[in-house]
């Protein structure tokens, strides 16, 4: 039992401290003093002494077992060493036997080779004699003029016949012409006839896809002069089986796939030609390779640009039509001719909405997805044009593709959207008008940047060194100018609508009593309701302009809007009479307008409102200080009539005889 307990205490992993602790807990009275049984150090000591004796006995037992195992290990090691020595001796004997066998094999091989040489020395002359006799027999048939042998009449033995006629042809070259001209002509005729049959057989095998048969026939043809024709036939057949097959099946059914296949095949062929040019193909290898490529693709390249243009027209028209169908929109015909041009000129000069205004419900009829699709199709067309066009025709072909892009993107999409946008701009006196034309401007600008990028990235490299460059630049300038005219017209009419909306707010919200309050001493507001609403409206429109424009256009449009805004407020203020407190309210209103003017970030606009603010001081300044104020920095350069007009707005103008201050 003690041994079992000790074995349990020695379980892995072994820890001495834990071992002592576990032994103490197992001993009655050896645990904690607070346990069920009181701590007894004597019992614990006695247990430790007994346990130490047990451990000594266990150690001796284990030591004896170890010694016994060591002796057994030494004994087995000696036995293994004897076995290894016996195996080494056996291996040496076997190696000696292999050496003897190798020497014997070498001796036999030497004898066999010697015998083979002797047999070959006897057999070779014999074979030559037999071959010579056989050729003489066939030669006699050509001399007699009658080919009786089965080898020349059996189509299945064409390979054997080709071998014979090729040898006879070489022999005939050495014969004198005057005596053997007849037979030489017959042999030559048969030679060319068999050569033609072999090439036909090679062609037929290639069409059937029998590569093994092709290899056999090519091996026979290798010794004929017409072997090069075999190579030509192979190349020609490969063209018909690959290029023709891939292009003809889609030429009439799927033009897009046909163009992609043509571009892919031609590109891969030119890459292959570039790799082949690294080999020694002769001094005119580039001309040779170009001629080969032209022979393969000439019938397809001649009609390439017509198919490219036709596909691009159909594809572009489908993209646009699909977009307008998704909007349930029936395209309106854009009029042309003298009447339409006259209307356009009148509209540009007068901003009159000629014709009924339409409601597009905020739809710009511009789609970046449509634009990206059109540009992508055109980019692919430019890439194919660059690769497939003859260098002399490249600029002309690229320009024709560019004209299609202008037609479908710039005219049929952007210009059409501008026309619709112009027709949808309300009149200047419309109330709560949706001025979405700025959204049209924003999208048109974004789209035209994409158009301009493609012009520079994909068209310019194709025409930069040709006379077509001037024509392309002129066309692009013409398109830009036409669009800018319509954009300017639309922006101008939109600004008029904004000013009209502000005018409507002022007309409905501004009361005459705002500037002549009944109780001068009980005015609590900082600025009028009309001013607050106008400033809120202006702030939104300024933000819309910033979102819709880019570059210098932002400052240009905001400058024009700011000047018109100032003119409106200036004229509006001159419609009222101002008491002393009313004048203060007017100054507060102008200060608020001036705060809105800061959002324009245009110095001219801020300067105009600074001057207007200074003019409003004339409404409240004491009569005796009018001259001093008028000669101030901001008013000294203004027209005296303008200053007088503002002073006349004061309710005390006549009673205080303020006119004498301007005399």
How far apart CA 220 and CA 255 sit, in angstroms, is 44
- Tell me: pLDDT of 336 over 60: no
- Tell me: pLDDT of 391 over 70: yes
How far apart CA 401 and CA 538 sit, in angstroms, is 45
**Reported pTM:** 0.61
My answer on whether 371 and 435 are in the same domain is yes
* Highest-confidence segment of 250-259, 271-280, 344-353, 386-395: 386-395
In this structure, of 151-160, 316-325, 387-396, 402-411, the range with the lowest mean pLDDT score is: 151-160
How far apart CA 314 and CA 234 sit, in angstroms, is 39
Q: Is residue 317 part of a domain?
A: no
Mean pLDDT of 239-247: 65
- Tell me: pLDDT of 128 over 70: no
CATH code: domain of residue 557 = 1.20.58
Closest CA to 50 of 91, 1, 84: 1
How far apart CA 343 and CA 355 sit, in angstroms, is 9
Percentage with pLDDT > 90 across the chain: 33
My answer on whether 82 and 167 are in the same domain is no
Return the pLDDT at 350: 54
Q: Which of 476, 502, 528 is the last residue of a domain?
A: 502
My answer on whether 554 and 486 are in the same domain is no
Return the pLDDT at 337: 42
- Tell me: pLDDT of 364 over 70: yes
Q: Kind and range of the H or E element at 175?
A: none
Could you report the per-residue pLDDT of 217-226, keeping only the tens digit for each? 777 777 676 6
Non-local CB neighbours of 492 within 8 Å, separated by 6+ positions: 351, 560
My answer on whether 485 and 379 are in the same domain is yes
Closest CA to 203 of 232, 178, 224: 232
My answer on whether 537 and 562 are in the same domain is yes
Mean pLDDT of 74-83: 90
- Return the structure tokens found at 647: 């002073």
- Tell me: pLDDT of 190 over 90: no
Mean pLDDT of 621-648: 80
- Tell me: pLDDT of 285 over 60: no
Return the pLDDT at 140: 66
Q: Which of 118, 144, 170 is the last residue of a domain?
A: 144
Average pLDDT of every residue of the chain = 81
- What phi and psi values does residue 614 have, to the nearest 5 degrees? -65, -40
In this structure, of 193-202, 284-293, 473-482, 551-560, the range with the lowest mean pLDDT score is: 284-293
Query: Domain range spanning residue 385?
Result: 330-343+361-502
| Residues 529, 595 contacting (CB under 8 angstroms) | no
- Tell me: pLDDT of 121 over 80: no
The total number of structural domains in the chain stands at 4
Q: How many Cα atoms within 13 Å fall on the side-chain side of residue 109?
A: 6
My answer on whether 421 and 478 are in the same domain is yes
Per the model's pLDDT, the better-predicted residue between 541 and 580 turns out to be 541
My answer on whether 374 and 239 are in the same domain is no
Return the pLDDT at 213: 78
Instruction: Using CB atoms within 10 Å of the CB of residue 214, give its burial: 0 to 12 exposed, 13 to 18 middle, 19+ buried.
Output: buried
In this structure, of 43-52, 90-99, 124-133, 581-590, the range with the lowest mean pLDDT score is: 124-133
Return the pLDDT at 488: 93
The DSSP secondary structure of 5-65, one letter per residue, reads HHHHHTPSSP-HHHHHHHHHHHSTT-S-TTSSS---HHHHHHHHHHHHHHHHHHHHHHHHH
pLDDT band at 365 (very low <50, low <70, confident <90, very high): confident
Return the pLDDT at 321: 94
Return the pLDDT at 334: 64
Mean pLDDT of 638-661: 75
My answer on whether 427 and 551 are in the same domain is no
Return the pLDDT at 19: 79
My answer on whether 585 and 475 are in the same domain is no
pLDDT band at 245 (very low <50, low <70, confident <90, very high): low
Q: Is residue 314 part of a domain?
A: no
My answer on whether 495 and 538 are in the same domain is no
- Cα dist from 248 to 99, 238, 244, 267, whole Å: 72, 15, 6, 18
Closest CA to 357 of 411, 430, 442: 430
- Whether residue 160 is preceded by a cis peptide bond, meaning omega within 30 degrees of 0, is no
- Tell me: pLDDT of 476 over 50: yes
Chain centroid offset of residue 150 CA: 69
Q: Kind and range of the H or E element at 138?
A: helix 41-144
My answer on whether 54 and 136 are in the same domain is yes
Q: Is residue 254 part of a domain?
A: yes
Return the pLDDT at 262: 85
- Tell me: pLDDT of 126 over 80: no
Mean pLDDT of 295-308: 84
Q: Which of 502, 526, 541 is the last residue of a domain?
A: 502
Helix (H, G, I), strand (E, B) or coil at 156: helix
Torsion (CA) 519, 525, 526, 531 in degrees, nearest 10: -100
């Amino acid at each position: 039992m003690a041994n079992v307990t000790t074995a349990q205490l020695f379980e892995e992993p072994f820890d001495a401290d834990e071992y002592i602790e576990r032994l103490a807990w197992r001993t009655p009275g050896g645990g904690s003093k607070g346990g069920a049984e009181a701590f007894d150090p004597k019992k614990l000591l006695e247990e430790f002494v007994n346990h130490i004796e047990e451990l000594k006995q266990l150690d001796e037992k284990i030591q004896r077992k170890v010694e016994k195992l060591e002796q057994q290990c030494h004994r087995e090691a000696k036995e293994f060493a004897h076995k290894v020595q016996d195996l080494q001796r056996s291996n040496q004997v076997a190696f000696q036997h292999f050496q003897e066998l190798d020497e014997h094999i070498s001796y036999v091989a030497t004898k066999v080779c010697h015998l083979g040489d002797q047999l070959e020395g006897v057999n070779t002359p014999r074979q030559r004699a037999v071959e010579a006799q056989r050729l003489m027999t066939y030669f006699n048939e050509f001399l007699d003029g009658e080919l009786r042998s089965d080898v020349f009449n059996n189509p299945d033995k064409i390979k054997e016949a080709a071998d014979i006629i090729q040898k006879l042809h070489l022999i005939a070259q050495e014969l004198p012409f005057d005596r053997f001209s007849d037979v030489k002509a017959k042999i030559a005729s048969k030679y060319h006839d068999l050569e033609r049959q072999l090439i036909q057989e090679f062609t037929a095998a290639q069409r059937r896809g029998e590569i093994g048969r092709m290899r056999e026939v090519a091996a026979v043809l290798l010794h004929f002069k017409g072997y090069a024709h075999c190579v030509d036939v192979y190349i020609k057949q490969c063209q018909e089986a690959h290029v023709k097959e891939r292009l003809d099946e889609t030429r009439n059914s799927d033009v897009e796939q046909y163009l992609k296949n043509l571009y892919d095949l031609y590109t891969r062929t030119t890459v292959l030609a570039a790799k082949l040019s690294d080999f020694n193909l002769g001094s005119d290898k580039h001309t040779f390779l170009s001629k080969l490529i032209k022979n393969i693709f000439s019938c397809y390249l001649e009609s390439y640009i017509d198919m490219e243009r036709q596909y691009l027209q159909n594809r572009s028209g489908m993209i646009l039509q699909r977009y307008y169908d998704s909007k349930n929109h029936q395209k309106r015909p854009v009029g042309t001719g003298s009447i339409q041009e006259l209307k356009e000129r009148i509209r540009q000069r007068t901003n009159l909405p000629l014709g009924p205004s339409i409601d597009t419900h905020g739809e710009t009829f511009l789609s970046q997805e449509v634009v990206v699709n059109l540009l992508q199709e055109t980019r692919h067309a430019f890439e194919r044009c660059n690769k497939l066009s003859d260098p002399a025709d490249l600029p002309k072909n690229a320009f024709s593709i560019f004209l299609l892009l202008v037609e479908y993107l710039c005219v049929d999409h952007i210009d059409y959207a501008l026309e619709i946008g112009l027709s949808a701009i309300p009149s200047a006196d419309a109330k709560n008008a949706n001025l979405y034309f700025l959204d049209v401007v924003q999208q048109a600008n974004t789209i035209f940047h994409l158009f301009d990028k493609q012009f520079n990235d994909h068209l310019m490299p194709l025409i930069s060194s040709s006379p077509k460059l001037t024509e392309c630049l002129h066309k692009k300038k013409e398109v830009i100018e036409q669009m800018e005219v319509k954009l300017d017209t639309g922006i101008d009419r939109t600004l008029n609508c904004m000013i009209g909306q502000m005018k409507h707010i002022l007309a409905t919200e501004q009361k005459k009593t705002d500037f002549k309050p009944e109780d001068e001493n009980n005015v609590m507001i900082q600025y009028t309701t009309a001013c607050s609403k106008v400033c809120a409206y202006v702030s939104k429109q300024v933000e819309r302009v910033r979102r819709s424009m880019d570059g210098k256009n932002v400052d240009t449009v905001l400058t024009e809007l700011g000047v018109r805004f100032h003119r409106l407020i200036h004229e509006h203020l001159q419609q009222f009479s101002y008491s002393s407190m009313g004048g203060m309210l007017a100054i507060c209103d102008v200060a608020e307008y001036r705060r809105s003017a800061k959002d324009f970030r245009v110095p001219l606009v801020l300067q105009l409102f600074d001057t207007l603010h200074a003019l409003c001081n004339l409404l409240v300044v004491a009569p005796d200080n009018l001259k001093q104020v008028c000669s101030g920095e901001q008013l000294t350069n203004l027209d005296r009539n303008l200053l007088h007009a503002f002073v006349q707005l004061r309710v005390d103008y006549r009673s205080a005889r303020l006119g004498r201050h301007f005399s």
